């Protein structure tokens, strides 16, 4: 027990795990947009930065409570997501992806040019309020939230849109409305992740929220298994910890990382856990145990 506490209170490990949790919350938002609904978003980091800057500026200038700031950051990102979604949801596939990418780049460049965000020098001195415990709680809540969305009428409508938009529309699903709603929800999670990130790293720079960060988040969602919550969790954990484990190869680590990306897609194009239905597995397991129990009961009765 002692050693476990020691392990988690080690500042290096604590920092990495907390950061992984923050990325997980953000990636879950993207999972809703890309995994569940099948909409391409290549600009998730942009929404993350909106949340991050909003929360950080509130903390620095108004001194409002940390959790409230993070929540408002999430709302701000969600609002921005909604504003982008309204006009651009009639675009499909790659066009939508490239529009979100463009939007995120515009946000980044605006943050570089604004005075209040500290411009290209970045925003420093944000209080360190994010802790591993808080991140774990919020991540757990987010995961529960994912399953609630899955099981709801809303979630089923989204799956229908992903599978066949035209058919979904014919079944009376208001496609535009649902798309805007899920885009706002997904970007809300990005904003929450951003707010937590700001209060963890204590320093924000627009360069941290560029295209590469957006694609990194997309990697988390796709490599673990698109459309699956355990897949997103696995993908985020493995990929955000991978650079730490690959430290021994020094400068070659990004080379290995990128080669692995290609190899992964060639050998498992649906991601590590793609196409595996965990609930069905669990259900089958329970069924099997049940049947075994009844079998042994029958056997005993027979004797």
Partner 1 sequence: MEQFQVFLQLLPQQLVNGITLGATYALIALGYTMVYGIIQLINFAHGEIYMIGAFTGLLLVVYFKINFFVAIIGAILLCVPLAMLIERVAYRPLRGSTRLATLISALGVSLFLQTLMTLIMGPNAQGFPEIVKDTIYTVGSVRFSLVQIVILLVSSIFMVALTLIVKYTKVGKAMRATSESYETANLMGININRIISYTFAIGAALAGAGGVLVGMYFNSIHPMMGVIVGLKCFCAAVLGGIGSIPGAMLGGMFLGVAEVMGVALGFGTYRDAIAFALLILVLLIKPTGIMGRPIQRKV
Write out the residues near partner 1 by the rule CB under 8 A. Answer: 34, 40, 87-88, 90-95, 97-99, 101-103, 105-106, 109-110, 112-113, 166-167, 211-212, 215, 218-219, 222-223, 226, 251-252, 254-255, 257-262, 264-266, 269-270
Shortest distance, position 34 Cβ to partner 1, whole Å: 7
Shortest distance, position 104 Cβ to partner 1, whole Å: 9
Nearer to partner 1, 81 or 195 (CB): 81
Looking up tokens 């907390």, which residue turns up?
Answer: 18
Please choose, from the candidates 233, 228, 223, the residue with its C-alpha nearest in 3D space to the C-alpha of residue 269: 223
Shortest distance, position 44 Cβ to partner 1, whole Å: 14
Shortest distance, position 166 Cβ to partner 1, whole Å: 6
Please choose, from the candidates 132, 146, 115, the residue with its C-alpha nearest in 3D space to the C-alpha of residue 22: 132
Shortest distance, position 168 Cβ to partner 1, whole Å: 12
CA distances from 215 to 27, 198, 264 (A): 11, 20, 16
Nearer to partner 1, 95 or 147 (CB): 95
Nearer to partner 1, 177 or 252 (CB): 252
Shortest distance, position 207 Cβ to partner 1, whole Å: 11
**Residue 30: CB partners within 8 Å, gap ≥ 6?**
41, 44, 186, 190, 217, 218, 220, 221
Would you say 183 and 85 are in contact if contact means Cβ atoms under 8 Å apart?
A: yes
Nearer to partner 1, 95 or 283 (CB): 95
CA distances from 288 to 283, 293, 299, 301, 302 (A): 9, 9, 16, 20, 21
Please choose, from the candidates 23, 14, 66, the residue with its C-alpha nearest in 3D space to the C-alpha of residue 189: 23
Nearer to partner 1, 181 or 270 (CB): 270
Nearer to partner 1, 106 or 293 (CB): 106
Concatenating the DSSP letter of every residue in 256-298 gives HHHHHHHHHHHH-TT-SSTT--HHHHHHHHHHHHHHHHHHHHH
């Amino acid at each position: 027990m002692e050693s476990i506490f020691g392990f988690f209170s080690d500042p290096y490990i604590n920092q990495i795990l907390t950061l992984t949790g923050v990325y997980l919350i953000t990636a879950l938002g993207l999972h809703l947009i890309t995994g569940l609904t099948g909409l391409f978003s290549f600009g998730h980091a942009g929404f993350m930065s909106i949340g991050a800057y909003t929360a950080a500026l509130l903390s620095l200038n108004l001194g409002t409570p940390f959790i409230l700031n993070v929540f408002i950051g999430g709302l701000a990102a969600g609002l921005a997501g909604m504003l982008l979604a309204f006009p651009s949801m009639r675009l499909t596939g790659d066009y939508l992806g490239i529009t979100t990418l463009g939007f995120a780049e515009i946000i980044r460049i605006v943050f570089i040019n604004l005075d209040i965000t500290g411009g290209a020098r970045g925003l420093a001195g944000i209080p360190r309020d994010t802790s591993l415990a808080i991140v774990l709680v919020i991540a757990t809540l987010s995961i529960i939230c994912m399953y609630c969305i899955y099981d709801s009428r809303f979630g089923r409508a989204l799956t229908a849109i992903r599978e066949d938009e035209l058919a979904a529309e014919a079944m009376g699903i208001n496609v535009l409305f649902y798309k805007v709603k899920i885009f706002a929800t997904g970007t809300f999670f990005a904003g929450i992740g951003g707010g937590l990130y700001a209060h963890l790293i204590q320093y924000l720079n627009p360069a941290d929220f560029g295209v590469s960060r957006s694609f990194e988040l997309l990697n988390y969602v796709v490599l673990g298994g698109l459309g699956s919550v355990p897949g997103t969790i696995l993908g985020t954990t493995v990929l955000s910890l991978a650079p730490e484990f690959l430290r021994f190869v020094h400068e070659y680590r990004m080379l290995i990382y990128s080669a692995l990306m290609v190899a992964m897609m060639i050998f498992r194009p649906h991601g590590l856990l793609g196409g595996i239905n965990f609930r069905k597995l669990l259900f089958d397991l329970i069924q099997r145990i049940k049947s075994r129990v009844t079998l042994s009961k029958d056997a005993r009765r027979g004797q």
